[in-house]
Amino acid sequence: MNLQTSTIHSIQSLNRSRRQIILILDFGSQYSELIARRIRETQVYSEVVSYRTTASELQLLQPDGIILSGGPSSVYEPGAPQCDPGIWELDVPILGVCYGMQLMVKQLGGGVGRATRAEYGKASLRIDDPSDLLTNVEDGSTMWMSHGDSVTELPDGFEVLAHTDNTNCAAIAHHGNKRYGVQFHPEVVHSIGGLALIRNFVYHICDCEPTWTINTFIEESIQEIRDQVGEKRVLLALSGGVDSSTLAFLLHKAIGSQLTCMFIDQGFMRKYEPERLVKLFQEQFHIPVEYVNACDRFLNLLQGVVDPEEKRKRIGHEFIHVFEEESKRLGPFDYLAQGTLYPDVIESATINSDPVNGERVAVKIKSHHNVGGLPKDLRFKLVEPLRKLFKDEVRKLGRSLGLPEEIIQRHPFPGPGLAIRILGEVTVDRLAILRDADFIVRQEVNRNHIYHQLWQAFAVLLPIRSVGVMGDQRTYAYPIVLRFVTSEDGMTADWSRVPYELLEVISNRIVNEVQGVNRVVYDITSKPPGTIEWE
């Protein structure tokens, strides 16, 4: 079978307890998981599976609806990913998004070709049929387009639901067979009315009920954790962020004293954080934490390393090696728990090649230390109950488990820490400079009461020097980049329009208080085309 047996069993188990699920067939879009997130906002469970999943496998999973994602390919190109044609014979509502719509049209006998005018970004949706899929979607709504191909001929039985100035077939439907397609991306925040469209598909077309909640997730996860680990012991890599802290609370609730939390101080944490973390967990939460000082070890490992992927991989491998060594002292342990989330999995996607067809899937952006850096000889079995959650879902989970807002609202912080906020080689001096600059950023953001308005706010150190002047002296020092972004889930992000006065205060403080810095700049790049972190 093309789909992993464990995945089938997992979803079948979910179906037995919930009986409702929407599956997304992933054709390599960076937004595939975001579709799943939007569906979960309707309180209906969803999961992403490979586009290679066969019709018979899908039948086993008993989905209430299927969504075909977008993707980077053109459906008429040789080797473009194709779904099993048997899918169209299933008695299940299907929605194609962008590439998914074009594939539906092509496989059902229609035509797709290069668009006369490509559409990227915002477009006004003109609704021709306001019923069914487009109920409560206002005529003229802004939708997010990203395509260079268009439908040139509809398959038999299909009709146009909406168009734009450049696209005659922006939304289509075969009402009798419950087959739908949209050329735009309803899942992104830029698409006004996109969530209404998704609700129409989930509730009215697939007849699902809003029964999946965070409390449901907690109940099922606790049982799954207990079933997976039995009476074995679990080692958790605790970082103090919302992900690992929520995971610690969830595991502690599920298996109690079978859990050992270990904090590895790799030397790349922010100022005062290691001390604060250990004290908080041990004295306030009453969850024991084993503190391991490995600062010198990690720093030596990165000597001379400038490539960001190499940094991440070395840090990831060393994390596991430290865990293995420490587990011999504290163990034995059979399981390693990780706070891996959906965005981690998405951004660690690689270009995969089918051994026969050479089909393209997703393009690799960057590895995460808890996804791409694991060695092949890892002797732990992994426990990753948060792997299918987005950051906002983790925060809801943490709140339900009783985590304090101090942790729940903490900005995302990368596993490799400050090591990937220093471009180029990581040194003791550069770490000290960045820690002090970052501390000033956090102080001023909190002082101005905008911390909770931002997704992330941090400093980056560039490995170059520029000329400056302080007093009557010429300086030759590092620049600091300020990166403040707003986002809902980290999949897309926009630079924050913070007051100039705040930037001025931060800049003045950094230049005057942090030795080795003489210039501060502000990053005004959105994601895409940039990423939130610089490495």
The residues assigned a catalytic role are 98, 185, 187
Task: Give the phi and the psi of residue 16 in degrees, each rounded to 5.
Answer: -65, -35
Please give the Cα distance from 349 to 366 (Å, whole number): 8
> Could you tell me which of 308, 320, 487 has the C-alpha nearest to residue 391?
487
Place of tokens 């102080």: 443
Backbone angles phi, psi at 470, to 5 degrees: -130, 120
Query: What is the C-alpha separation between 180 and 197, in angstroms, rounded?
Result: 11
State the DSSP H helix or E strand holding residue 152, giving kind and residue range, or none if neither. Answer: strand 142-153
| Pairing verdict, β 142-153 and 159-163 | unpaired
432 exposed, middle or buried (CB, 10 Å; 0-12, 13-18, 19+)? middle
Q: What are the angstrom distances between the C-alpha of 506 and each of 27, 129, 441, 464, 500?
A: 44, 53, 6, 20, 10
Contact call for residues 440 and 506 (beta carbons, < 8 A) = yes
- Write phi, then psi, for 213 (nearest 5 degrees): -130, 170
Q: Tokens 């706010």: give the residue.
A: 457
Cis? peptide before 332, omega within 30° of 0: yes
The token pair at 212 is 């999946």
Counts of helices then strands in the chain (DSSP H, E) = 15, 20
48 close to 68: Cβ distance less than 8 angstroms: no
Give the helix/strand (H/E) hosting 263.
Answer: strand 259-265
Distance CA(505)–CA(435), nearest Å, equals: 18
In angstroms, the first-to-last Cα distance of the chain is 37
The whole-angstrom separation of Cα 218 and Cα 75 is 40
Pairing of strands 335-337, 381-383: parallel
DSSP secondary structure string for all residues of 360-396: --PPP----TTTT---TT--SEEE-TTTT--HHHHHH
Listed in sequence order, the residues at least 6 apart from 16 whose beta carbon sits closer than 8 Å to its beta carbon are: none
Residue for token digits 């469209």? Answer: 197
CB 431 within 8 A of CB 267: yes
Pick from 221, 284, 290: which is nearest to 254 by CA?
221
User: Which residues are 245's β-sheet partners?
Assistant: none
* Residue carrying structure tokens 């908080």: 280
Q: Which of 405, 520, 489, 530 is nearest to 36 (CA)?
A: 489
